[in-house]
């Protein structure tokens, strides 16, 4: 049997089981009680909060047909076995081929534990590139390895024996010149050695190849391992790290930024957890120094080390086990390489995650669970044994390269410490360490599958120290495994899975399976790791943690793995009692305290989200807590008060923890065949559903008073829940049932398995989701993941990729909707209604996108429609003809609808230009239209007149707004209410700030009117500019002053009852009234025109009909221009992003051209410089200048080189 690396078990092909045949038609229906099915909505309607969630990854299988009612849903056997195999199985062979698919084993939830985001699947940017999916990724460099052939079992064992028998002359036992002690003498000595190498850590490493300081000293030499491991897709990465050390892919920063951050960290010091526990930190750091993991140096040399970075130290509390299996406290020193200095450029921030190798340490719980259930199904009366192996100081076994050491410096007790190995707290290290652990796990799996391996002779020196498998006689019956929706690869010998430094073996207790699985991991470690010598110059431990192995490594039916208590006999996973006690105590503290530490609350949320691994519906109850934590982090709050709704959720989770401590059946965690299948549907008028097995059905017409209140997707969601709820209420779903509730709404289907609702915006959906969770958990059932097939390209994507795409598309659609205002949307809809009405009139209403017509024919139809719009056929009777601008905008809106539906723009020709036919038609309309009459610019005299005429409270408010708008060149929608929705936001009270010199005055200051300047915050403008501030200074006019008018506005606003900092500046109350009103644009326009009419056309040159709300902004620009204010100042004060403000400069203002005529005659004579002599053949474009003509124009790429044969000039 040939062997080869099969990281994801590619050699074993899986097939979906034959699905159960479901009836094609439902039986006669029975009507359920309609009113009771949605009563729970009222009881939970009061809950409000915010929510954010990470999309859940769904697994699928290869497509199979199933005879059910169309539209065809996903069926029990249709989970993607290919992906299940990659996600749920460990390898069975070692070197079958040189390059193998390597699917990631990481989920979004896993990454939060290890300070990183999910990695992309790009190759690692090391000198030798590794490609994780050769079927879809082209190599960036050709492989330098020869063509390899599959190994036989004998060759595989032969390579291992060669490695173990090899005795290297260089055993890394030379004593390094450094002193690894925590004192000033050692720091001084080490600094001098480093100074001799110009503070170049890489040079130091290269000089220490025969000492434990040298790179790769914890492992055997790469040239010895290569014949065995060269076929592994991660071997080149590991080889590079064993040869040169791990180089962190970081964005480069300037030396100046580094100096700023180093100065900051030296002054700030370490974290509080380190400062308050100095003795503990000293002990932990001593252990690192003692084993040569950290090098003490003088603190002042940090400024001499090239590309140095400092990180603060912290202490993390954990728990471990001793050799007796007892839980003991454990503390770990951490390097917080996320903590930012003034530049914000910490190591973790600068990490280029796309250039790291794939981080494949996630989903181990899911894989183990599926393997255990599959083994139980095949061997219902046999024990299943589970063990656990831990590596001793795993991260400290991997060396950093010289440049990366400089990036991992810390300070403690006035000494500098350089980390020579991986640190705890750096984003790249889980990615880089997974290269080591993956190869280690795959090697152990190959040993288990190799029949030629005799575990009694070819073994680790530590094997005899390991405890024997524990086989206890018990009367407890073996739990029954439920049918899975996928077929697992045939493997009765056992597997070893990997989660960073944890390697749990699991097997069915047949023959010597348990002994072989227990021996595989220690032997794999012995093969890869350099043996510990008696005369090691620096104390060194075995790679395998002996203490933990003695305490929890014994193969048994019950074992704690990844913090969960596995019982393979009862097929349950439970929360350990110790964790239950600690977690419930924390929940009690949160529920009773008035305020809670946000960090602790975030930790609690992470724990509860972890519970969702066993109880997926429980995550529906995390919405409010997650929203509160996210909000507190955005506001940089350390403490937060818990609202009653969040406290209720915390108390509810105590009950859920009680369920988990009693154990959750693995049958409810795996991907199962459904035992109950339901169908439901909804419309805007009602909803209904039925049971496919017995035909029971229900329907519920919506009352007239709630029509159009709830979205259709919400009704679809509610229908799914009600349909399955009816059967649960009737006791037809026994424990461990797998429920498939189908609908034709992908949104509703997704909501069954995850919540991504904002409770303040999607209250109804969240209530339904929470009720669903309660129903499923109480019934001890699980939901079957199902969806409808999409288009071909969509369906062929891997489920993890597709789910990320779906989530991104969903949020992208929301962003697309937010890109336009309601007014723009209404315009598009109105234009489309006119378009479809016109097509119906001409007999083309059945094809609104004109898919059956050619491009030229579409242009003609569009031309005819433009003429219909021009003639006001779809407008009110008062319109005879519409202008070219209106027609063009209507055509543009119709084209936008085409593009929104992925159709070609009907206006464009083959060259991507607007069709000549339409261009000429629009030009004809423009030529026929009367000229546009611009709104005239208002001078300050009009505002003074308006102020003097103000008698009522409303008039004075309007005058203040207009004078303010004049000085800030404001748009009308920035100081008053206008018709329709606008992107531009009105100025609010919190956006007004007064300064007396440099001192900020509060709004209630009695000297507000004496401020020297006032600043306005423009939050959102039509040109997408946000949070711009503009300052105006005090004038010496007794009322034409921005400070005086804004002071009056602020005092008016704060005097109104119930006013807040969000109150807009156009809010007002009539004296004696309690009704809040807002000044509207049409009221302001009437007042403006009244003032203009009083002044008169003789004085102003225009009448009131020529004045609009744009006149104020135009007048501001004109006044600044006439006073010689530079153009760029006008643009900045008026917030014009281009020279568009020139449209507001009115040429017909008399003072505009004052003095221009006189200046034009100031230079009566000027000399014109003659042009160059074009008869010189060397001149460009001369007919004899062949060198320039050959490579120009249309023949530039194909013209042959032409050389001049005769020189006609010297």
| Residue count (the chain) | 1210
Helix axes 598-611 and 577-592, enclosed angle (nearest 10): 130
Kindly write down the DSSP assignment for every residue of 647-696, as one continuous string.
Answer: HHHHHHHHHHHHHHHT-EEGGGTS-B--SEEEEEEEETTEEEEEETTT--
Q: How many CA atoms lie within 13 A of 560 on its CB side?
A: 18
Kindly write down the DSSP assignment for every residue of 120-156, as one continuous string.
Answer: PSPPP-SSS---S-TTT---SS---SPPP-PBPHHHH
Q: How many CA atoms lie within 13 A of 247 on its CB side?
A: 17
Let me know: does 459 contact 519? Beta carbons within 8 Å: yes
**Can you read off the two tokens belonging to residue 1125?**
């204010």
Query: Rounded to whole angstroms, what are the CA distances from 825 to 292, 760, 866, 956, 981?
Result: 67, 24, 20, 36, 10
Neighbours of 1036 (CB within 10 A): 6
Cα distance between residue 255 and residue 845, in whole Å? 68
Burial of 152 (0-12, 13-18, 19+ CB in 10 A): middle
Q: Which of 524, 522, 517, 529 is nearest to 559 (CA)?
A: 517
Residues β-bridged to residue 321: 327
Let me know: does 618 contact 611? Beta carbons within 8 Å: yes
The per-residue pLDDT for 143 is 35
Let me know: does 985 contact 979? Beta carbons within 8 Å: no
Cα distance between residue 360 and residue 110, in whole Å? 10
Prior bond of 71 cis (ω within 30°) = yes
Q: What pairing do the DSSP bridges indicate for beta strands 676-683 and 738-742?
A: parallel
Helix (H, G, I), strand (E, B) or coil at 639: strand
The per-residue pLDDT for 775 is 92
Summarised one tens digit per residue, pLDDT across range 812-851 is: 766 776 676 666 777 888 899 899 889 988 888 878 899 8
Let me know: does 98 contact 413? Beta carbons within 8 Å: no
The per-residue pLDDT for 806 is 65
Neighbours of 733 (CB within 10 A): 21
Q: Measure the CA angle with vertex 356, ends 330 and 103; round to 5°.
A: 90
Q: What is the pTM of this model?
A: 0.57
Q: Which of 751, 748, 720, 724 is nearest to 737 (CA)?
A: 724
The per-residue pLDDT for 958 is 92
C-alpha radius of gyration, the chain, whole number: 38
Let me know: does 560 contact 552? Beta carbons within 8 Å: yes
The per-residue pLDDT for 52 is 25
The answer for residues whose C-beta is within 8 angstroms of residue 148's C-beta and 6 or more apart is 95, 97, 98, 230, 231
Query: End-to-end distance of the chain based on CA atoms, in angstroms?
Result: 83
Cα distance between residue 717 and residue 752, in whole Å? 7
**Can you read off the two tokens belonging to residue 428?**
């790249």
Neighbours of 406 (CB within 10 A): 21
Cα distance between residue 2 and residue 155, in whole Å? 9
- The segments of the chain whose pLDDT lies below 50 read 1-149, 169, 321, 323, 325, 787-790, 792, 1190, 1192-1210
Cα distance between residue 985 and residue 497, in whole Å? 56
The answer for residues whose C-beta is within 8 angstroms of residue 1155's C-beta and 6 or more apart is none
Neighbours of 661 (CB within 10 A): 17
**Can you read off the two tokens belonging to residue 615?**
């109880």
Cα distance between residue 341 and residue 258, in whole Å? 9
Residue whose tokens read 């259930």: 373
**Can you read off the two tokens belonging to residue 1172?**
């160059």
Q: Measure the CA angle with vertex 830, ends 828 and 836; round to 5°.
A: 100
The per-residue pLDDT for 1177 is 63
Q: What pairing do the DSSP bridges indicate for beta strands 564-567 and 558-561?
A: antiparallel
Kindly write down the DSSP assignment for every residue of 529-582, as one continuous string.
Answer: BPPPPTT-SS----SB-HHHHHHH-S-BSEEEETTEEEETTTTEEE--HHHHHH
Cα distance between residue 683 and residue 671, in whole Å? 31
Q: What is the 3-state secondary structure (H, E, C) of 1149-1202?
A: CHHHHCCHHHHHCCCCCCCCCCCCCCCCCCCCCCCCCHHHHHCCHHHCCCCCCC
Query: Rounded to whole angstroms, what are the CA distances from 342 to 115, 255, 260, 305, 1134?
Result: 21, 14, 7, 20, 34
Is residue 1032 within a helix (H) or strand (E), and if so which, with residue range? strand 1026-1033
Cα distance between residue 516 and residue 449, in whole Å? 10
Let me know: does 1013 contact 1123? Beta carbons within 8 Å: no
Q: What pairing do the DSSP bridges indicate for beta strands 782-783 and 738-742?
A: parallel
Q: Which of 394, 410, 127, 411 is nearest to 246 (CA)?
A: 127
Q: Residue 52: left (phi > 0), alpha (psi -120 to 50), or beta? A: beta
């Amino acid at each position: 049997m040939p062997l080869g690396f099969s990281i994801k078990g590619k050699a074993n092909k899986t097939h979906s089981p034959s699905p159960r045949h479901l009836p094609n038609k439902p039986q006669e229906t029975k009507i359920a009680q309609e009113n009771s099915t949605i009563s729970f909505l009222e009881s939970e309607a009061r809950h409000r909060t915010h929510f954010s969630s990470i999309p859940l990854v769904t697994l699928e299988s290869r497509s199979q047909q199933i005879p059910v009612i169309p539209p065809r849903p996903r069926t029990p056997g249709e989970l993607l076995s290919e992906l299940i195999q990659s996600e749920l199985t460990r390898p069975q062979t070692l070197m079958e081929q040189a390059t193998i698919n390597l699917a990631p084993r990481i989920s979004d939830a896993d990454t939060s534990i290890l300070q990183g985001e999910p990695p992309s699947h790009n190759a690692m940017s090391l000198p030798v590139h590794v490609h994780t999916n050769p079927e879809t990724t082209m190599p960036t460099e050709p492989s330098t390895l020869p063509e390899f052939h599959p190994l036989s079992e004998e060759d595989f064992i032969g390579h291992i024996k060669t490695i173990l028998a090899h005795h290297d002359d260089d055993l890394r036992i030379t004593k390094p010149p450094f002193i690894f002690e925590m004192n000033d003498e050692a720091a001084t000595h080490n600094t001098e050695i480093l100074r001799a190498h110009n503070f170049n850590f890489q040079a130091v490493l290269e000089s220490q190849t025969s000492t434990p300081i040298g790179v790769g000293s914890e492992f055997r030499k790469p040239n010895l391992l290569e014949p065995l491991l060269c076929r592994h897709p991660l071997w080149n990465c590991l080889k590079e790290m064993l040869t040169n050390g791990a180089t962190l892919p970081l964005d480069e920063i300037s030396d100046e930024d580094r100096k700023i951050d180093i100065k900051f960290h030296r002054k700030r010091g370490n974290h509080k957890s380190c400062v308050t526990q100095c003795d503990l930190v000293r002990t932990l750091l001593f252990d690192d120094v003692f084993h040569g993991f950290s090098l003490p140096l003088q603190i002042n040399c940090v400024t001499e080390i090239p590309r140095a970075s400092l990180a603060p130290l912290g202490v993390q509390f954990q728990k471990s086990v001793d050799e007796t299996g007892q839980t003991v406290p454990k503390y770990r020193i951490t390097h917080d390489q996320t903590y930012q200095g003034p530049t914000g450029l910490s190591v973790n921030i600068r990490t280029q995650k796309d250039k790291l190798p794939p981080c494949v340490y996630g989903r181990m719980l899911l894989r183990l669970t599926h393997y255990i259930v599959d083994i139980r199904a095949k061997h219902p009366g046999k024990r299943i044994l589970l063990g656990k192996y831990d590596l001793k100081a795993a991260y400290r076994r991997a060396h950093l390269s010289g440049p990366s050491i400089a990036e991992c410096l810390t300070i403690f007790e006035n000494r500098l410490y350089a980390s020579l190995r991986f640190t705890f707290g750096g984003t790249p290290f889980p990615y880089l360490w997974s290269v080591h652990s993956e190869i280690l796990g795959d090697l152990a799996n190959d040993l288990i599958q190799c029949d030629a391996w005799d575990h009694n002779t070819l073994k680790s020196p530590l094997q005899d120290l390991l405890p024997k498998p524990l086989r206890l006689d018990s009367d407890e019956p073996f739990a029954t495994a439920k049918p899975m929706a996928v077929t697992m690869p045939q493997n009765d010998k056992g597997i070893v899975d990997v989660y960073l430094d944890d390697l749990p073996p699991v097997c069915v207790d047949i023959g010597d399976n348990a002994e072989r699985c227990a021996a595989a991991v220690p032997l794999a470690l012995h093969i890869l790791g350099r043996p510990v010598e008696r005369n090691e110059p620096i104390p060194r431990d075995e790679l395998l943690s002996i203490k933990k192995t003695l305490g929890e490594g014994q193969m048994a039916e019950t074992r704690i793995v990844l913090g969960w208590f596995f019982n393979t006999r009862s097929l349950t996973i439970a929360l350990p009692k110790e964790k239950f006690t600690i977690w419930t105590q924390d929940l009690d503290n949160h529920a009773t305290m008035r305020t809670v530490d946000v960090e602790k609350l975030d930790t609690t949320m992470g724990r509860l989200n972890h519970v969702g691994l066993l109880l997926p519906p429980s995550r529906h109850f995390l919405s409010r807590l997650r929203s509160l934590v996210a909000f507190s982090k955005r506001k940089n709050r350390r403490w937060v008060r818990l609202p009653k709704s969040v406290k209720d959720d915390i108390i509810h989770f105590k009950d859920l923890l009680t369920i988990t401590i009693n154990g959750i059946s693995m049958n409810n965690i795996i991907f199962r065949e459904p035992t109950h299948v339901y169908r439901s549907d909804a419309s805007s008028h009602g909803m209904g559903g039925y049971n496919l097995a017995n035909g029971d059905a229900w329907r519920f017409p919506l009352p007239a008073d709630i029509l159009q209140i709830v979205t259709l997707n919400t009704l679809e969601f509610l229908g799914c829940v009600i349909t399955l709820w009816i059967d649960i209420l009737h006791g037809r779903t026994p424990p461990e049932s797998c429920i498939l509730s189908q609908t034709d709404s992908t949104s509703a289907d997704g909501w069954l398995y995850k919540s991504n609702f904002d409770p303040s915006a999607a209250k109804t959906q969240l209530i339904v989701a929470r009720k669903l969770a309660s129903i499923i958990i109480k019934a001890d059932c699980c939901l079957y993941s199902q969806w409808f097939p999409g288009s071909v390209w969509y369906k062929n994507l891997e489920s993890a990729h597709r789910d990320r795409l779906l989530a991104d598309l969903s949020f992208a659609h929301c962003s697309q909707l937010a890109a336009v205002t309601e007014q723009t949307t209404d315009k598009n809809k109105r234009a489309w209604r006119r378009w479809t009405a016109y097509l119906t009139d001409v007999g083309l209403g059945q094809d609104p996108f004109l898919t059956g017509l050619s491009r030229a024919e579409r242009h003609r139809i569009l031309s005819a429609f433009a003429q219909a719009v021009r003639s006001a056929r779809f407008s009110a009777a008062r319109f005879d003809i519409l202008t070219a601008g209106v027609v063009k905008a209507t055509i543009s809106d119709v084209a936008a609808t085409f593009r929104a539906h992925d159709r070609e723009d009907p206006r464009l020709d083959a060259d991507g230009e607007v069709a000549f036919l339409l261009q000429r038609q629009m030009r004809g309309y423009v030529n026929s239209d009367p000229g546009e009459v611009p709104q005239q610019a208002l001078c300050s005299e009009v505002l003074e007149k308006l102020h003097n005429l103000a008698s009522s409270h409303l008039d004075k408010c309007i005058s203040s707004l207009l004078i303010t708008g004049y000085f800030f060149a404001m748009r009308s929608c920035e100081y008053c209410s206008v018709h329709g929705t606008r992107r531009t936001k009105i100025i609010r009270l919190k956006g007004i700030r007064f300064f007396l010199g440099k001192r900020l005055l509060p709004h209630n200051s009695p000297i507000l009117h004496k401020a020297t300047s006032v600043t306005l915050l423009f939050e959102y403008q039509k040109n997408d500019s946000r949070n711009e501030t503009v300052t105006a200074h005090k004038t010496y006019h007794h009322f034409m002053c921005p400070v005086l008018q804004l002071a009056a506005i602020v005092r008016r606003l704060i005097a109104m009852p119930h006013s807040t900092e969000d109150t807009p500046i156009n809010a007002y109350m009539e004296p004696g009234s309690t009704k809040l009103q807002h000044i509207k644009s049409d009221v302001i326009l009437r007042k403006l025109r009244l003032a203009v009419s009083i002044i008169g056309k003789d004085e102003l040159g225009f009448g009131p009909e020529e004045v609009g709300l744009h006149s104020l902004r135009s007048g501001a620009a004109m006044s600044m221009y006439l006073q010689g204010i530079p153009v760029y100042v006008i643009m900045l004060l008026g917030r014009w992003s281009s020279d568009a403000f020139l449209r507001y400069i009115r040429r017909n203002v008399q003072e505009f051209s004052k003095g221009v005529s006189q200046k034009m005659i100031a230079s009566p004579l000027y000399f014109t410089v003659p042009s160059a002599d074009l008869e010189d053949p060397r001149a460009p474009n001369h007919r004899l200048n062949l060198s320039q003509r050959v490579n120009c124009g249309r023949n530039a790429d194909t013209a042959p080189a032409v050389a001049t044969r005769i020189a006609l000039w010297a």
